[in-house]
Every structure is written in structure tokens, then in C-alpha cells.
Copies of this chain bind each other. A is one copy, B any other.
């Protein structure tokens, strides 16, 4: 239903500019990679960045599905009316200075929505960074391209959203969509969740929320949506001082966090405590859901195994009691110094073959519902973590019994090729014990939501 936002056949950038100091320059530049028709609209220029420009959106030959409005505030209303007359379907208003400034701004904002609705148009924004769909190279924002991935990320704070995009690019974490939701004058979290519940490329939704205007609507929609797809929420304003700051920032009521938290849990929303926890949770959903809460950990170093066991425990998951035959078979090929109880510590000498055999045994163990494969800098000569990654993948392919597998590869740059390999295979890779445990925890919570596991 909202495909005209994320898969538009044509896009107009109203306020596209030749001046690199203007946001309209960046937005039009970013849209050059998009496959559909992209038209610059500028009242003064003949050409924008070498492309023929139009004085008004109405002058564009052919249909316009999506308009990005980035003109000065005083021209927004007129621009919106012209979009309506043109038959535009979706409008992203980047321009700020509306509801976030006070009562008068709120009134103007409501007027914009009335105008849009009278033409059958929908609005994202105002006061936002824009939207991205990495699966068709649509970047209708003034920030850098996010990495392609499977998480739809909706942020109520434009700057924080942008900061997270920059951060994830650096860390190699991908998004399917990035939606800076701005003041939510029209489209809000609820409607976007409903749309994202039925898309192919979005495996999970990650929401950064400061305050909701209609909490009841959000929770009702969330209750339905979370049966289909995981929704992970980071709610700002947990503390009293944070809540006060959040409410002055967005103009919406932050409300008591405890009420939010209870409502989130009731509606199947998975609550994250930090940005990294939100991302770690959302990234897990390239894996199938588990049929139980028992985790097996395999590692080539004791320390990370212990830290991961601690984090698993903290989140109410448990370490699997391995079957006797698994323990015996592990003992048959692992060195005497190895620990064959869970966590299985294959010790530093473990090669790819050991990872393969151990992963295969653990995945085949009836007491194991999930596997976490840990690899720390293999300090032994001639080893690269890539062989360890390959071992895990081979085991998963052979056993193929639908148990989720997550990886913790802790070796900075040394492990990057291994991590890329695992990610290509759909196995999410983490760098910190608390992150991989958060991923496992989210899988369990979602299995509860869809009824695979009892709560």
C-alpha cells in the first residue's frame, strides 16, 4: 500500500539545488543512483546537476509517484498543493519548522495533512531526514547510503537515525529501509509497521521511539504485526530527566517508561535497552526461530565462552545439557585439554575441521535449540578465521534441521573476511558477547510471539 514511497516509478525533488551547501543538493545527488525517473524541481535553475529542471512539479511530463519537498518553510504549503494537483501519491517533507516549534507550527502541520488528504496524498515528515530503500538504491535523504541489509529501521530522531546509519556503515551492518519519520504529522509508526509486515526484503523492524501520540493505536497494530514479523523498540526517555528532555525535543508526551514497557511486552514488541542491543536483536532474524531456549556454545577460547554463558543466563535463556553421546563423540576428536561440556571449548588449536565436526554434533543434539559459534583470533600459525567460518557453514548445510546459528567472531579486522562469509550465508555475526546473546534472546521472544514457544 505504501509502495509509492519505497518503490516509486518516478520521484520529484522539489528544492533540488546546484549549491553543494544546500540539503536539496545532497538529496538530488543521492537519488541519481535510483532506477526510476528522478526530476529536479527548482524555480530558478534551468538545470540541476546537469539534469533539466522544472519550475513546478506540475510541469513534469508524466506521472510523479513520490515528491521530496525541501523548499524553505514558507513555500511548503503551496508546493504541497501543486503536488496534489499533479496527482503525486506520497510526499516526504524534509523541511523543518512545523509541529516541533509549538502551537502555531502544529496548526500549520495539521493544515498540510488536510491538504494532502484532500488530494489522497500521504505525508512522511515534516522535519525529517528522508527515506531509503537499499534494495532498489532509493536514497531520498541528504545523508550517505546505508549498507544493504534486512532490517527496516524507523527513527523518530532524524539526527540520531543519521548517526546510526553512519555508524552501521562503519561497522558493516545493513538496513533494508531507513525511514526518518520526523514529526509524524500524517504517517506514523503504526501505519509503517503494517506496511513493513508484508514486505519481502524486511526481515525485522527496528524502531527508535521518543514519544507516541496515539499509544493505543500503536499497541493494537503492534499486536497484529508482531505475529508476522519481529518489532524491536528502543524507547528513549526511560528516566525522568530523559523523559522531560524527550518531550521537549519532539513535542510529544514521553509518558512513564514503565507503562510503555508493559504495553510493549503485551503487544509482542521486543524491547531493547541500547542502540546496539536494538541492532543486534534485529540482525538475528536472518535465522529461523528456535523451538526452545537451550543454547549450545562452541569456542576456541575459554574467556569469551564464559562471558557469553553469563550473558545468555542474564537474559533467561539456558545452556543446553548436551547428550551423553555428543560429549563422547566430542571427546573422540578434540584434544584432551578441550572442555567437552557446554560451552564446548575446542581450545586455540581448533581448525576449520574441528569447527565443522563440533557444530555438526551440537546441531544434531536433541537437547540443543540454538548454536552460538565463537571464534577468537586463531593465534596458531597459518590459520585465518575464514576456515572456522567455512566449517560452521558446512555443518549447517549438512545438518539442515532449522536450528538457528549465531556467530561471535572477536578479532577486529582479522576476522572481517570470515564475518562477510557468514553474513552472506545469512548467519549474523557479532563482535561482543552481549550482542550475540541479545540476538539469541530476540529469536526466543519472537518464537513466543508466534506461538512456537510458550511464554
Interface residues of A (CB under 8 A from B): 19-23, 25, 100-101, 129, 142-143, 155-164, 166-171, 208, 210, 236-242, 244-246, 248-250, 274-276, 300-307, 309-310, 312-314, 318-319, 336-337, 339, 341-343, 345, 348, 376-377, 379, 381-382, 410-414, 431-434
A240 to B341, CA, bound (A): 14
Cβ of A170 and Cβ of B413 under 8 Å apart? yes
A249 and B412 contact, Cβ closer than 8 Å, known pairs A159-B377, A239-B310, A310-B238: no
Most chain B beta-carbon contacts within 10 A, residue among A164, A168, A250: A164
Q: Which residues of B contact A240 (CB under 8 A)?
A: 313
* CB–CB B339/A245 < 8 A: yes
Residues from chain B with Cβ under 8 Å of A343 in the complex: 245
How many identical chains are in the complex? 2
- Indicate which residue in B21, B100, B239, B319 contacts A381 across the interface (CB closer than 8 Å): B21
Q: 7 interchain pairs (CB within 8 A)?
A: A159-B379, A239-B312, A245-B345, A248-B339, A248-B341, A274-B432, A275-B433
Question: Pick the contact of A377 from B166, B275, B341 — CB < 8 Å?
Answer: B166
Chain B residues whose C-beta falls within 8 Å of the C-beta of A163 in the assembled complex: 301, 304, 376-377, 410-412
Q: Which residues of B contact A411 (CB under 8 A)?
A: 162-163, 166-167
Tell me if B237 and A306 are in contact (CB < 8 A): yes
Q: Are A303 and B377 in contact (CB under 8 A)?
A: no
Q: Given the complex, which residues of B lie within 8 Å of A337, measured CB to CB?
A: 100-101
Name 15 extra pairs, CB < 8 A, besides A161-B303, A236-B310, A274-B432.
A23-B379, A142-B379, A157-B301, A159-B300, A159-B301, A159-B377, A160-B410, A166-B414, A210-B306, A237-B306, A241-B318, A245-B343, A245-B345, A274-B434, A275-B307
B377 touching A239, Cβ below 8 Å: no
A339 partner residues in chain B, CB cutoff 8 A: 245, 248-249
Question: Measured between C-beta atoms, what is the minimum distance from A300 to chain B in Å?
Answer: 7
Residues of B within 8 A of A275 (CB): 307, 432-433
